[in-house]
Amino acid sequence: MDNHGRSFGMARLLWNPMLGIYAHSAFVLFPYSWMVWVQQRRLHFLMLLAQVAFAIAVSHWQSLVLPNACDYEIPTVKAMSLCG
């Protein structure tokens, strides 16, 4: 399979209605198709590195955003009852 076909297959899988939860939060959760693609090529070490880097980036973003979220009245944070 060439790169174009593989990319199209990944995009089609990503936008599959059953995987819609991954599609709209692709920058929060690794898409299922990406995990399958990595596992098929046995790049487990690279996937582990990617997950660790992603977790560090998310925790860093949360440490920057969440402490100030109540000041800016972000509705999601208020809905989670994180504000006093």
pLDDT of residue 78: 55
Do both 65 and 84 map to the same domain?
yes
Do both 1 and 33 map to the same domain?
yes
Do both 38 and 68 map to the same domain?
no
Residue-number span of the structural domain to which 82 is assigned: 47-84
Cα 11 to Cα 4, 19, 31, 53, 55: the distances in Å are 10, 11, 10, 23, 24
Do both 57 and 72 map to the same domain?
yes
Residues sharing a CB contact under 8 Å with residue 47, sequence separation 6 or more, in sequence order: 35, 38, 39
| Total of domains in the chain | 2
pLDDT per residue rounded down to tens, the chain (84 residues): 445 555 555 555 544 544 444 444 554 555 566 666 666 666 666 777 787 788 777 777 766 665 565 666 656 655 555 555
Do both 33 and 6 map to the same domain?
yes
